[in-house]
Amino acid sequence: MKSIGSIIKGKPTMTERTVYSMLMICGISHFLNDMIQSIIPSIYPIIKDKFDFSFAQIGIITLVFQMTSSILQPFTGYYADKHPRPYALSIGMCFTLTGLLLLAFAENYLLILLAVSVVGFGSSVFHPTASRVAQMASGGKKSLAQAIFQVGGNGGSAMGPLLAAIIILPFGQHAIAYFAIAALLAAIIMIRLGAWFKARLVYAVKHPQKNTGLNTDISKRAKFGALTILILLVFSKYFYTSCITSYFTFFLIHKFGVSVQTSQICLFVFLTAFAIGTLAGGMFGDRFGRKYVIWFSILGAAPFALAMPFANFTWTIVCAFLSGLVIASAFSSIVVYATDLMPDKVGLIAGIFFGLMFGLGGLGSAFFGWLADKTSIEFIFQTSAFLPLLGIIAGFLPNTQKKGGHYDH
């Protein structure tokens, strides 16, 4: 009889080609991880009523959660580069599971803060390592691999609030415990990912690969310059999208008087466009060179973003769909481009950029909330629309691929 452990681990086979089965497992793991994470904001109405929290206290819960998951990511990524732990993914998910159970039965404010920080820690272990595994399984199609991984996360983020509405809102705080089943499932799936990762590390020692096609003539100064540009681009992208994801429903209700349900369907349209754009961007990044995809993606969203606040209802939705579709295509190319600059620090770089993504999303949401209170909901959409214009600085990025190589044209 095979042991359960050996059945879960499977028989990892090594190849230089793209390992789609592992990319799918990475995507599914990311789906489950981000679905669990996105439950936290969707239970705010329940705990606010139950414990009579102020908005400021709710804000601090978000801050603690975002900061544990964002700030720790570069450190867990750096550690994973130095000391790869194949089963760290499952262990991280066990933290998430513990945090969920704690959140389901937390009876005071401090316990809730502790619970969300434990879930945040689990997430900070997951993203950098899983992103690295996705690159290892890419077989050279790095942008596509990163995009498959990312779409899993986007899908999970969209599904979480939907499931929370079905499961947690009717049955209350204790129903969060049901999501521990998803965490357990993810922890088991990640054992197989860990087994493949372990075998791949052994294989990589026996078959060292050269980073062919990478431009190694970029000076250290140019690399840091390029990373600074990328960080500014991630800022413009995530500040802009945080304005839409947090306040688009309010904007539509305020400006066009639509129902809450209609506004949520419109937000779902934007999130769907975001998922499609992420996948398309991954394919184009491998095909046309990542620099050009980054440039087109952020700058290309500007016309739709600028037109949206002044359009009628139908065109507002069209503009939202198109800006989501175009701007989403950059993220996988940004992560891969940054790891191409520093191929020996994949975990650290992935940690920094995933950390920024969460952190800037949280900050953007808080900033635009404050600005909307001071001005109006329409004003924040008129001002945030200028952010994608920052995409113009992508033109200053050096080419990470060699001329005449596989990608640069």
Q: Are 18-206 and 220-396 the same fold in CATH?
A: yes
Predicted confidence (pLDDT) per residue in 63-116, tens digit: 788 888 888 889 988 998 888 888 899 999 999 999 999 999 999 999 999 999
Supply the pLDDT for residue 212: 56
CATH of 18-206, one of 3.60.70.12, 1.20.1250.20, 1.10.260.40, 3.60.40.10: 1.20.1250.20
> pTM for the whole thing?
0.79
Supply the pLDDT for residue 383: 94
Q: What CA–CA distance (Å, rounded) separates 354 from 114? A: 22
Supply the pLDDT for residue 407: 42
Supply the pLDDT for residue 389: 93
Supply the pLDDT for residue 258: 86
Predicted confidence (pLDDT) per residue in 158-167, tens digit: 788 778 878 8
- The list of the chain residues with pLDDT below 70 reads 1-15, 209-216, 401-409
Closest CA to 37 of 10, 62, 5: 62
Contacts made by residues 160-168, CB under 8 angstroms, sequence distance 24+: 160/34, 160/35, 160/36, 160/37, 160/38, 160/39, 160/42, 161/38, 161/39, 161/41, 161/42, 163/35, 163/39, 164/38, 164/39, 164/42, 164/43, 165/42, 168/39, 168/42, 168/43, 168/46
Q: What CA–CA distance (Å, rounded) separates 340 from 349? A: 10
What CATH architecture applies to the domain 220-396?
A: Up-down Bundle (1.20)
What residue spans define the domains of the chain? 18-206, 220-396
